[in-house]
Amino acid sequence: MKETIPNLDGTSRIYAVFGDPIAQVQTPHLVNPIFSAAKTNIFAMPFHVTPENFSATWDAFAVMSNVAGIGVTVPHKVVAAERCATLTATARAVGAVNSIHRGQDGRMHGALFDGVGFIHGLGDGKAALKNARVLMVGAGGAGRAIAYALAEEGVSHLRLMDLDPASIAFAKDLVNSFAGRDVASGVFPSDGWDYDVVINASPIGIKGGSRFPMPEDSIRSSMLVADIASLAGETELLRAARAAGATISDGNDMLSAQLRLIAGFAAGLPAGIPLE
């Protein structure tokens, strides 16, 4: 018989990934090579967990000592945060988690790596954030985490666009509370496009026929343009930014950085330290 997982044994630990649906989730496939390369003897596995079964499933996995942690995706990020014994500052502020580590004390410790994953994924482009004027389109779950991370990096202004006014209000209050001053606010196209950094944290570019609200001829070569929607291919925003000579970052940069942070947290490293 062919050994497909030759090092799986009684000392192996599981990183369970909960979602509903689960078939589209890529975390196990992408994070297992990171675990393997670091010789952690941890294996990520997907589990289809519906909302009505979440509590019972959480309770069962939380008491298993060979569970290294739990990853959560839609629709469990908020309810999982409520079940954690501790939360990172970002997870606490946003009220959601996407990765949980089971500590040696048996308690579950939650983190949200969307924001810090975005920052790490920028690489050298991170330097452009200090005192930057930033436009971000999309203030949903990922956008809120990114907004918090931008505040931590010391941006001078964060202007927010979203179809949901409540999402803008949440992200604005989140950032301004952290900064202790009015850094974030909603913005309208009529206010102009004079920014140093432009971020798409919305589904624009991958869903429907909607277009990014910033005119392509407003993109300058001095800008940093990031689009977390760009995974399978380049979006119109990134094509325009590349043509203008701007520095660009796509969703794969964020995803790659986030996976290493998730792997590090599952392996017992402090939140925010990647597994190399």
pLDDT, block means (10 residues), the chain with 276 residues: 65 95 90 95 96 96 96 93 96 95 94 96 95 96 95 97 95 96 94 96 80 95 94 88 96 95 96 94
By CB atoms closer than 10 A (0-12, 13-18, 19+), residue 23 is: exposed
| Residue appearing with tokens 């630990």 | 13
Please count the other Cβ atoms lying within 10 Å of the Cβ belonging to residue 29: 10
Indicate the SS3 state at residue 101: strand
Q: Which two tokens mark 149?
A: 């991370």
Q: What is the pLDDT of residue 1?
A: 36
CA distance 197 to 98: 26
CA distance 155 to 128: 9
**Partners of 225 in the beta sheet?**
198, 248
CA distance 241 to 235: 10
Q: Identify whether the C-beta of residue 134 lies closer than 8 Å to the C-beta of residue 197.
A: yes
Enclosing H/E stretch for 225: strand 224-227
CA distance 171 to 143: 8
What lies within 8 Å, CB to CB, of 68 at 6+ separation is 13, 14, 15, 42, 101, 102, 266, 267, 268
266-270: which pairs have CB atoms within 8 A and are 24 or more residues apart?
266/15, 266/31, 266/35, 266/42, 266/44, 266/68, 266/69, 266/71, 266/99, 266/101, 267/35, 267/38, 267/40, 267/42, 267/68, 268/68, 268/101
**Partners of 48 in the beta sheet?**
19
Q: What is the pLDDT of residue 2?
A: 45
Indicate the SS3 state at residue 261: helix
| Residue appearing with tokens 């590090």 | 264
Q: What is the pLDDT of residue 210?
A: 80
